[in-house]
Amino acid sequence: MSLMLVAITLANDTVALTASVGEMSGLLITLLTDSAGHKGFLITLAVLGVAMLRLPLSREAVLAKGLQLAVILLIGFASKTALKELTESPRPYTEYLAKAEFIDSAESFYHLSAPQRDDVIEHASHHVSTWRTLHWQGEKDYSFPSGHTIFVAICVAFFGGLFLQHRHWASLAILMVWAGGVCYSRLWIGMHRPEDLFASTAFVAVVYIVTPSFPKIARLLVPYVPKRLFSQR
Q: Please enumerate in sequence order all residues whose Cβ is within 8 A of that of 101, keeping only pairs 6 or more positions apart, or say none.
A: none
Q: Which residue, among 153, 166, 164, has the nearest Cα to 206 in the 3D structure? A: 153
Q: How wide is the angle at C-alpha 145 spanned by C-alphas 144 and 150, nearest 5°?
A: 160
DSSP labels for 47-102? HHHHHHHTSS--HHHHHHHHHHHHHHHHHHHHHHHHHHHHH-PPPHHHHHHHHTTS
- What residues of the chain score a pLDDT lower than 70? 224-233
Q: How much is the pLDDT for 177?
A: 97
pLDDT of residue 226: 63
CA distance 132 to 181: 16
pLDDT at site 103: 95
153-175 CB burial, b ≥16 within 10 A, e <16 = bbbbbbbbebbeeeebeebbeeb
- Residue 148, classified by CB atoms within 10 Å of its CB into exposed (0-12), middle (13-18) or buried (19+), is buried
Q: Which residues, in sequence order, are CB contacts of 214 under 8 Å at separation 6+?
A: 64, 67, 68, 71
Domain boundaries, the chain: 1-12+26-89+144-226, 91-141
78-99 residue pLDDT tens: 999 999 999 999 999 999 999 9
pTM across the whole model: 0.92
Helix (H, G, I), strand (E, B) or coil at 18: coil
User: Which positions ≥6 away from 50 have C-beta within 8 Å?
Assistant: none
Whole-number pLDDT of residue 228:
57
